[in-house]
Every structure is written in C-alpha cells, then in structure tokens.
Amino acid sequence: MDQEAGSPEVAIAISSTESLVEARQKGRDMASDMGFSQSEATMIAAAISELARNIVQYAGRGEIRLRRDGADMLYVIASDDGPGIADTRQALKPGYSTSGSLGLGLAGVQRIADHFEIASSPGGTTVTLGKRRL
C-alpha cells in the first residue's frame, strides 16, 4: 500500500537502487513535513539508505514502511524475507561490515535512533528505527 508522504504511513517496495532512492526521498519528505530539522531529515534519509541497501544486497527485495506516531515520532520499518543475520550483536558493532563498505552500518542506524529493534532469523529480518523530533 503506497501512500503519499503526507499520510500517516507510506510503504515502498525495495528491490533496486531506484527504489532505495525513492524510499530515501519519501523519508526525507515525511520528516520535513513533520517539522524535523534539515540535519535530522538528512540523518533519517541516511538510515533509510543503509536499511534499503542491506535489503537489496542481502535479501534481494523487501519493504520500507514510514509511519508517523503522533506529531513528533517517525518510525522506519525495514523488512525482508532474506537469509537473516547470523549474529545481530556482531552486526551492531561499530565498523562491522560483511560487504567491506564504509556505510552507516546497523550500528550507525542504531546510534541515531531514539527507538531501535532488530529481529532476525533464517527467513527474514525486520529493523525498526524510531526518531523523535527535537
């Protein structure tokens, strides 16, 4: 269900670099519409990029959902049906990468979050990031 950025929830199917860019832009737009500062919106967009890139790289396809919770909380929920993350504690360590990238990484996503959850097993991963407007 793909809705406009002004709606309480937007879902973006992730399967390519193009859909990653779309998710990033919709996240930035929703954050701006909610009154997040430009730097906060940029951090949210970077986190969305990291989560979407992980979906494309490790699972092939999945979904990013953007959801408003009240006037000041934005949730980003990234989910896929991929192979899962074998060791989530290791994956959350700063600087950890299985791809050799210098991206934000899951540790960076967790660091900017006011709320963070990860659930992963063979068959899928869901990462939930909540960011409160300052």
Query: In this model, does residue 38 exceed pLDDT 50?
Result: yes
Task: Please indicate, yes or no, if residue 1 is contained in any of the structural domains.
Answer: no
- Mean confidence (pLDDT) of the chain: 90
Residue 3 lies in a domain: no
**The domain containing residue 84 runs over which residues?**
9-132
Residue 2 has what pLDDT? Answer: 41
**Nearest Cα residue to 40 out of 74, 65, 8, 70:** 74
**What CATH number should be reported for the domain holding residue 99?**
3.30.565.10
Written in H, E and C, the secondary structure of 15-40 is: CCHHHHHHHHHHHHHHHHHCCCCHHH
In the chain, the number of structural domains is: 1
Of the listed ranges 11-15, 38-42, 69-73, the least confidently predicted one is: 69-73
Q: What percent of the chain has pLDDT over 90?
A: 75
Q: Cβ distance 57 to 23 under 8 Å?
A: no
Rounded CA separation 93/27 (Å): 25
Cut 0.85: pTM above it: yes
What does the pLDDT look like over 45-96, one tens digit per residue? 999 999 999 999 999 999 999 999 988 999 999 999 999 998 898 888 887 7
Sheet strands (E) in 4-123: 9-14, 62-69, 73-80, 115-121
The answer to whether residue 4 is domain-embedded is no
Give residue 10's identity as a one-letter amino acid code.
Answer: V
On whether the CB atoms of residues 129 and 75 are closer than 8 A, the answer is yes
- Note whether residue 26 is domain-resident: yes
2 within a domain of the structure (yes/no): no
